[in-house]
Structure 1
Amino acid sequence: MSKQERWSRLLELLAVDGKLDVEEAAVSVAVSPATIRRDLDELAEQRLLVRTRGGAIAHGVSYELPMRYKSSRRVSEKQRVATAVADLLGEGDVVGLNGGTTTTEVARALVLRAGGGRPAERGEGTAGPTYTVVTNSLNIASELAVRPQFKIVVTGGVARPQTYELVGPLTEGVLNQVVLDVAVLGVDGVDPRLGVMTHHEDEAGISRLFAERARKVVLATDSSKVGRRAFARICGLDRIDVLVTDSGLAPETAARFTEAGVEVICV
């Protein structure tokens, strides 16, 4: 198991329980306790967790969000999807991320892909950023803002307390002034006929604008969302270039997306 895979597994365990014990984590990941201690120290330096005596606890705002962000359902699938999405992004890309559990994992995968990197301190971070990330998600912005490899553009707008996403005319105003290389969208439903959907119309409008401002649109979702309907339509499949999902996607469903011109990546 590589270090990145090990870190992803540790963060997955942390998302489920909210805390980690060194000895138990060592058994789960099948490495020595000394290796786990080093991993936890490095993850703590990146502010992905907080070290405690004998282990670690979840860190900061991303673990004190509403239930949508606390959910431990399909964590492994979302992390695999996130890693695959990060692999599609090139150094220097301007990346748009809307809010959601999967796009939050994409942000974390980008941190690992960019070499981890310690949070910026006074006098650090003089080198240019590896990625520019434009987001309307408060928790994604808070996780990436301290990292010198990232230039973070936060849209502004009115915060939805249920999801920590910024919406409204102020959000639209910023997005209308930027151009994205890639937009990565997390969604609540996607259907080969109806297109891409979410539960709230104001969030749908912002996600639609992300797609319109991007040269390439990547849909990042676990397979449980495929075939599911939601209230507000974001866009049709003609706006989507790539669907990244887990291996639970039925082959016949994947074929329908392919026929619609969408590249399908199952991980």
Structure 2
Amino acid sequence: MSKHERWNALLELLASAGKVEVEEAAATLDVSAATIRRDLDELAEQRLLVRTRGGAVAHGVSYELPLRYKSGRHAAEKARIAAAAAELIAPGEVVGLNGGTTTTEVARALALRFAGERAESGTPTAASGPALTVVTNALNIAAELAVRPQIKLVTTGGVARPQTYELVGPLAAGVLGEVALDTVVLGVDGIDPEFGAMAHQEEEAGISRLFAERASRVVVVTDASKLGRRAFARICGLDRVDLLLTDTAIDAGTADRLSEAGVRVLTV
């Protein structure tokens, strides 16, 4: 197991349990305790955890993993959710995408879908103009879509957060205040039947809230592990969410509570 794989596994353990014990982690990952101690020390230097005697702990209501460590979690579920989300978008729509692993998959699915439709039509891309307009505050999504001629890309300004590659702050808010969206596809860190859609970080929640306010339709995309779970900052209430796209691991009780709150729940 490489160092990166060990770090990913340790952060996954920390995200699920809130703490990591050296001896237990060493047994789980089948490496020496000394190796785990070194890994935890290096992760602590990057401020990804807090070292304790015998292990490490995480802070906060819900632990925020940097995006580069989250991309492999529930990958198959996110791919199915993204494909379903892309099918909801009609040609010519203006679509908002905030940051996150699932919305990144949605961006890729949109690029493939509309490239395929353009190829089947036999119409040259340059002559017919963009098939879709995407507005995003996520640098990684912008980098992927900038090379797609069938998509008109609009990015917000703002200050970049290294954990999620999202642009936040007054510059991002200023751009969103000047646009109108047909659909926004929101990635979230938690969905709570009482508090609604939530994010780990308040500035990101504020920008995602603006996305929701500027859109005619709000689609939340998340794997079932985030349902019934709270994060630190509220994005919007469930009354603002038109559709929740998730995977089949959602439990019946959570699905019922969300439906009672007026949210249409679609599982894939």
User: TM > 0.5 between the two?
Assistant: yes
- SS, match of residue 105 in structure 1: helix
- Counterpart-to-counterpart distance in 1, 2:126 and 2:193: 44
Equivalent residue, structure 2, for 1:114: 114
Structure 1 residues not aligned, in runs of 5+: 1-15, 17-65
Equivalent residue, structure 2, for 1:128: 129
- Counterpart-to-counterpart distance in 2, 1:191 and 1:232: 11
> What is the Cα deviation at residue 182 of structure 1?
0.3
1:234 aligns with 2:235: yes
CA offsets 1:77-106 (integer angstroms, 9 cap, x no match): 001010111111111110000000000000
| Residue identity matched to 1:68 | L
Give the TM-score normalised by the residue count of structure 1.
0.71
Give 1 or 2 for the bigger CA radius of gyration: 2
> What is the Cα deviation at residue 69 of structure 1?
3.1
Aligned residues: 199
1:212 aligns with 2:216: no
- Counterpart-to-counterpart distance in 1, 2:157 and 2:149: 21
Equivalent residue, structure 2, for 1:69: 68
- Counterpart-to-counterpart distance in 2, 1:169 and 1:97: 18
> What is the Cα deviation at residue 124 of structure 1?
6.6
Equivalent residue, structure 2, for 1:78: 78
Structure 2 residues not aligned, in runs of 5+: 6-64
- Counterpart-to-counterpart distance in 2, 1:67 and 1:199: 11
After superposition, the CA RMSD in angstroms is: 1.8
Residues 115 and 150 in structure 2, CA contact (< 8 A), matched pair in contact too: no
- SS, match of residue 243 in structure 1: strand
> What is the Cα deviation at residue 67 of structure 1?
4.1
- SS, match of residue 90 in structure 2: coil
Residues 243 and 263 in structure 2, CA contact (< 8 A), matched pair in contact too: yes
Equivalent residue, structure 2, for 1:91: 91
Bigger shift: residues 152-161 or 252-261: 252-261
Residues 69 and 100 in structure 1, CA contact (< 8 A), matched pair in contact too: no
> What is the Cα deviation at residue 214 of structure 1?
0.2
Give the TM-score normalised by the residue count of structure 2.
0.71
| Residue identity matched to 2:97 | L
- SS, match of residue 156 in structure 1: coil
- Counterpart-to-counterpart distance in 1, 2:229 and 2:257: 15
Equivalent residue, structure 2, for 1:258: 259
Determine what percentage of the aligned residue pairs are the same residue: 64
CA offsets 1:2-42 (integer angstroms, 9 cap, x no match): xxxxxxxxxxxxxx9xxxxxxxxxxxxxxxxxxxxxxxxxx
- SS, match of residue 151 in structure 1: strand
